[in-house]
Structure 1
């Protein structure tokens, strides 16, 4: 036995075998319940669990996804059984597997990910409601009706005539399921569905309750081989495609979700679809339910430590062994307990977590419409209704345009147009542009990713008309130059272009998108150029045009009084931008910058009042809560200290100022271990932050406020290369910093 084989065997014994047993204990009761909800023989659920585990597990593309009968398909199967009979439904399952196999070979699996998750979640929620309503009648001792509405209307009479023993078994099952998660971890090792059925079966047997026992007719020894369905072939083809697509999409979305639960190899979606197709062909041929990837069993497999597909395959083997050797024990389970299990599962399928997720993206209408249509009309109709609404909402978002027009304090007007400019947005665009008075100066910002001819004609015609009336229009295209290209007669591509690198205030000037230098129209092309505008002046103009309108309300409020909460002492290095690395805004930081972020100790020479004045004003007038000293990597001042003043030899002012860093250098030399290396500079930069926090405590007012808990001292270190800010622990003599 080779080393790799031995390691794989040990991993299987250590991780996959225990995980497969956990999944097996969950799969048996769920498979029986789904078969019952589908109107199929109960043995069909076990057949599907075996085939899903062994065939889909061996041939699929996901390492730990578990396949088997899925509750989401139960409504389709129930309708097919009532329409064509069970054996014909098996043939539809077989043909659906062939379709899945073909789609997998054609590498079409990725297309399934285009389905909105809101539709899938809404479909599962609708299926859960329908299952819960139908199985609730069995719990009450009655029979389910053909539709959800009929079940709701029949419910009062069922409640009035409910039978004691059947209701007691159902309530007992639901109680065990609900309370099982609150029990100690050792007890919860037994899956809740298995525990609930065991408690219900034992209780009904001990007290001799009058309940209905599970009927295992149609067991493994009596396979129901498929036959061709009779009826309109259009409907039959539609049923085959519906089963294939629903099972395939559910499996692929489950694969994507399961990938986030483990660190093993990612799923091959095309191979997964091929494996699902092969499994559905086999289960259809053997008389089993359709199979799909199931999130409950897959999650259990991942949480139980499953590492490879061996756990999935073994779970199918255990189901087969149980069905052949211990299948008779299933007949002890009360049907009402299985129905109660399905009621509980159905309620859980209405997942509020899914509602919160789709709410964040504005897709709650899709979820509600899909769920409602599934409940009232049927599964296929509900899915189609959800897909149609999702497509309409997507079209609305893609063609939505935002137009904001306002007058500026200097008398100019500013208009901002954002979104995708198509003919659908022309009415709104025209209405907003007409609100701009004639003859005024207009700054028009186009932040668009697409413009069709109708939108261009609208803007261009308005511009020409406005300029004829004595006004001016300055157009600035922030995203891409759709207007400029159209105005020049260039060919417009019929698709959206990727966004150009936007101008960002935090980018250095050299990294921003350069615009052509301004040149008067009457200046000859090769004549003397106009002087290039100063970057600061250009930046001020850009601030007035773009940023000032956004921050003016805040600055107007701050104009009367500043109330910063932090004194921020940092280096004058141009690469350190306090507002950027702290995500702060106007009015947050009272900032002091100097070479080396130094704080002169009280009474130190050379005397310096600038830093002391800022500290006094911040702590005694502004009442800041925190003083932060922020150093950074590669600090030139610290390099000068390390060189003994050599690097500052021709800078007398620098040499005098760096005397305030001698305590930092002494502490660094005292704590340094071994010879100095390339990391010495950054180590000194960190020690310097600690020393400056110590220097702050030499001022009596600062020390008093720190001792009283009214002031906090914080040390930061900005690693420029990695763009990361680190907390610097204080020296033992300073107050502890809360992180």
Structure 2
């Protein structure tokens, strides 16, 4: 759906055309959804039915004109019904209107102070759990009305009373309620062309027609008189602490729900993003007007908003017009509401309440281990009350966040030389000291330990725990070598230096080994789910620059201290000669870092023999520099499976036709081809190409021995030659035995 970014109140000629083509039909669809929902929410809130319609009108017109979201629809929200019902019962309806007015003023002030984004700090698990708890409470209460009885004061009492209601009440009210629910459930299974009419409207219409035609005895409400009367707000009487609390909870819950809804709606369209501060200001203005006119509190509502987007709305005029349609309906057709049975509205609320328990949210939260927050918040709202349940959920969310932020991991791995490699990661605080000390004390006395501290924070308690263990371990004859991957928290604490005021930057996300195309498309974190994108010429430069930016942002802060220390001199221990193939990444397959490998790459990982024709000074210069200046201790030649250079050699020159430079270069592979022809397969290779790729690696080691300085260092035992073979498909590195080319998997 394409949302028009030119969606302000000023309309051009093309804007008017867009409004008539897209927004007008969408407004009618939203209007048909909004009317029954507004009436039902008014019933659940214990407010006059007219209050729901007034809130629908004000939410559409005022919030639509002044809000910061292009297509969000505001009106009475089911998530606020429990709060409003409690306020109505405690202070009366007129005082509730004043509380709504004051809450709107507070929202307006917060919006002007530009604090809207701070509301997004509330855990979505708490918000969804709160809405689910409200839905369960509404459904339990209204189910009694559907069954012909009366709702009880609490959710527990509603559950306990439910069997009695089911057994003893079998009036016409039950039939109306069941018919309404049946239509709501079955409507989604009808053909698309019949579902143009919204399910709530169809259900109420069916219930009204059937009840009238069969003469069922149902409860009806007369709306005509209440529409012509203005409910004047009055100041609440009672404890001022409770009044302030009511204003705060209405303002905050309505504001948070509206802002989260605006963020969610932004994901449904590709037009202008919501201005959250303006949205909060618009919601405040709408609640001011709604409270003044005797309406329910107003908030952004996801059901009506998503319906608006799906219906094709492109500007805020759809929201504004939907409010106008509600006003026109209330004034001109208000008498039709008297035909709707109250039991049908109760059944609609039961259906809405059940839908508020969205299992899709549970699936999303499960991946982040936030299901307990959702469940505890929902249970708290049902059993304790809305405010109490939200507070319990927020407390649990804070505890879980604290646990994650202060989590510590300790791994102990034995090394081949008998030493123990201990890796400690996370944020080291006093909360992790028990686990930390337990793991460290399990290390055998007298062991030689390499301790890696991959941490972003260390408090005094954690430092003392590690330092005391280290001193005790060394007194017992052991050794401890500490290597700090991030800033030197331990070293600075041991020296008495002033500690850093905050945590160090986080580690890189661990995606640097992924190709650019996979990183652009893959979002799940699972490499198996990441489908490669074929890059176009226009993608190459942006991908390269984006990679550089990612390095500056994530990796550079971590490697800067290391690179600063080796900026003036390099001391690699290996000369690594490998193919130019883009799938071979030396640092990845050897797990090496800056300063480890002096690398030479060419097509076919070839080493021209000393004095060969045509001469190649590039490789010989690298060999001379590595052995005479850098004093490397190892020269490694690494080949790989499916090498295109070796395939060209096997083709007898067919694949190099028209590539004279490549043809001349591949002459340096003739010794490999001759060795391949004279040798036999041992049955372990993957065919002729695979065997030539392996033979070629071993041949290059023999070519290296034609360089006098290499041969001399090898004879003196100061230089070692190694043959590696990288199987790309299996992501496996093999060491090749030089005489027989037998693979020894690492």
TM-score bin, normalised by smaller chain: 0.7 to 0.9
Alpha-carbon separation, structure 2, partners of 1:107 and 1:59? 15
Alpha-carbon separation, structure 2, partners of 1:72 and 1:504? 40
* Secondary structure at the counterpart of residue 454 of structure 2: strand
Cα RMSD after superposing both structures = 3.5
Alpha-carbon separation, structure 1, partners of 2:189 and 2:362? 25
Q: For each residue in 1:299-342, what CA deviation from the matched residue of structure 2 results, as whole angstroms up to 9, or x when unmatched?
A: 00011111110111010010001101111101100111100000
Deviates more, 1:204-213 or 1:335-344: 204-213
CA separation of 1:282/1:469 partners in 2, compared to 1, >3 Å: closer, same or farther?
Answer: same
The reply to whether residue 352 of structure 1 matches residue 359 of structure 2 is yes
Tell me by how many angstroms 1:594 deviates.
3.2
Equivalent residue for 1:188, pick from 183, 191, 195: 195
Tell me by how many angstroms 1:55 deviates.
0.2
Cα pair 1:42 1:218 within 8 Å, conserved: no
Cα pair 2:104 2:283 within 8 Å, conserved: yes
The reply to whether residue 116 of structure 1 matches residue 107 of structure 2 is no
Alpha-carbon separation, structure 1, partners of 2:279 and 2:348? 29
Tell me by how many angstroms 1:408 deviates.
3.5
Alpha-carbon separation, structure 2, partners of 1:163 and 1:411? 80
Q: For each residue in 1:713-737, what CA deviation from the matched residue of structure 2 results, as whole angstroms up to 9, or x when unmatched?
A: xxxxx9xxxxxxxxxxxxxxxxxxx
CA separation of 1:215/1:591 partners in 2, compared to 1, >3 Å: closer, same or farther?
Answer: farther
The reply to whether residue 534 of structure 1 matches residue 583 of structure 2 is no
Alpha-carbon separation, structure 1, partners of 2:103 and 2:653? 87
1:340 counterpart residue number: 347
CA separation of 1:438/1:211 partners in 2, compared to 1, >3 Å: closer, same or farther?
Answer: same
CA separation of 1:223/1:319 partners in 2, compared to 1, >3 Å: closer, same or farther?
Answer: same
Equivalent residue for 1:6, pick from 9, 13, 16: 13
Alpha-carbon separation, structure 1, partners of 2:485 and 2:198? 57
Cα pair 1:91 1:227 within 8 Å, conserved: yes
2:300 counterpart residue number: 293
Alpha-carbon separation, structure 2, partners of 1:63 and 1:541? 49
CA separation of 1:343/1:92 partners in 2, compared to 1, >3 Å: closer, same or farther?
Answer: same
1:154-169 map, 5 Å? 154-169=161-176
Tell me by how many angstroms 1:543 deviates.
9.0
Equivalent residue for 1:592, pick from 624, 638, 641: 641
Alpha-carbon separation, structure 1, partners of 2:201 and 2:461? 64
Alpha-carbon separation, structure 2, partners of 1:361 and 1:646? 55
Q: For each residue in 1:559-605, what CA deviation from the matched residue of structure 2 results, as whole angstroms up to 9, or x when unmatched?
A: xxxxxxxxxxx97489xxxxxxxxxxxxxxx952435463667xx54
Structure 2: 5+ residue runs without aligned partners?
1-9, 516-550, 578-584, 594-601, 607-638, 674-687, 690-727, 729-746
Alpha-carbon separation, structure 2, partners of 1:250 and 1:309? 19
Alpha-carbon separation, structure 2, partners of 1:288 and 1:459? 63
CA separation of 1:80/1:373 partners in 2, compared to 1, >3 Å: closer, same or farther?
Answer: same
2:532 counterpart residue number: none
* Secondary structure at the counterpart of residue 188 of structure 2: helix
1:427 counterpart residue number: 434
Tell me by how many angstroms 1:359 deviates.
1.6
Equivalent residue for 2:228, pick from 221, 234, 252: 221
Alpha-carbon separation, structure 2, partners of 1:437 and 1:471? 9
1:163-562 map, 5 Å? 163-216=170-223, 219-499=226-506, 506=513, 513=559, 533-534=573-574
1:117-156 map, 5 Å? 117-156=124-163
Alpha-carbon separation, structure 2, partners of 1:121 and 1:184? 31
CA separation of 1:308/1:492 partners in 2, compared to 1, >3 Å: closer, same or farther?
Answer: same
CA separation of 1:89/1:504 partners in 2, compared to 1, >3 Å: closer, same or farther?
Answer: closer
Tell me by how many angstroms 1:444 deviates.
1.3
TM-score, with length taken from structure 2: 0.72
Cα pair 2:649 2:666 within 8 Å, conserved: no
* Secondary structure at the counterpart of residue 31 of structure 1: helix
CA separation of 1:181/1:502 partners in 2, compared to 1, >3 Å: closer, same or farther?
Answer: closer
The reply to whether residue 79 of structure 1 matches residue 86 of structure 2 is yes
Alpha-carbon separation, structure 1, partners of 2:576 and 2:426? 31
1:582 counterpart residue number: none
Alpha-carbon separation, structure 2, partners of 1:529 and 1:217? 89
Cα pair 2:224 2:334 within 8 Å, conserved: no
* Secondary structure at the counterpart of residue 506 of structure 2: coil
* Secondary structure at the counterpart of residue 191 of structure 2: coil
2:716 counterpart residue number: none
* Secondary structure at the counterpart of residue 412 of structure 2: strand
* Secondary structure at the counterpart of residue 372 of structure 1: helix
1:98 counterpart residue number: 105
* Secondary structure at the counterpart of residue 322 of structure 1: helix
CA separation of 1:375/1:506 partners in 2, compared to 1, >3 Å: closer, same or farther?
Answer: closer
Cα pair 2:645 2:666 within 8 Å, conserved: no
Cα pair 1:573 1:595 within 8 Å, conserved: no
Count of matched residue pairs:
580
* Secondary structure at the counterpart of residue 444 of structure 1: strand
Structure 1: 5+ residue runs without aligned partners?
520-527, 548-569, 575-589, 608-637, 659-694, 697-717, 719-739
Q: For each residue in 1:89-133, what CA deviation from the matched residue of structure 2 results, as whole angstroms up to 9, or x when unmatched?
A: 000000000000010011111111011111111111111011011
Tell me by how many angstroms 1:43 deviates.
0.5
Alpha-carbon separation, structure 2, partners of 1:91 and 1:355? 37
Alpha-carbon separation, structure 1, partners of 2:478 and 2:512? 30
Alpha-carbon separation, structure 1, partners of 2:384 and 2:666? 85
CA separation of 1:504/1:143 partners in 2, compared to 1, >3 Å: closer, same or farther?
Answer: closer
* Secondary structure at the counterpart of residue 421 of structure 2: strand
1:709-720 map, 5 Å? none
Equivalent residue for 1:645, pick from 644, 660, 678: 660
Alpha-carbon separation, structure 1, partners of 2:21 and 2:672? 65
Tell me by how many angstroms 1:488 deviates.
4.1
* Secondary structure at the counterpart of residue 419 of structure 1: strand
The reply to whether residue 24 of structure 1 matches residue 31 of structure 2 is yes
Tell me by how many angstroms 1:29 deviates.
0.1
Equivalent residue for 2:76, pick from 54, 69, 76: 69
TM-score, with length taken from structure 1: 0.73
Tell me by how many angstroms 1:500 deviates.
5.5
* Secondary structure at the counterpart of residue 212 of structure 1: coil
2:67 counterpart residue number: 60
1:604-643 map, 5 Å? 605=652, 641-642=657-658
Tell me by how many angstroms 1:151 deviates.
1.3
* Secondary structure at the counterpart of residue 362 of structure 1: coil
Tell me by how many angstroms 1:470 deviates.
3.0
Tell me by how many angstroms 1:141 deviates.
1.1
Alpha-carbon separation, structure 2, partners of 1:540 and 1:318? 68
* Secondary structure at the counterpart of residue 53 of structure 2: helix
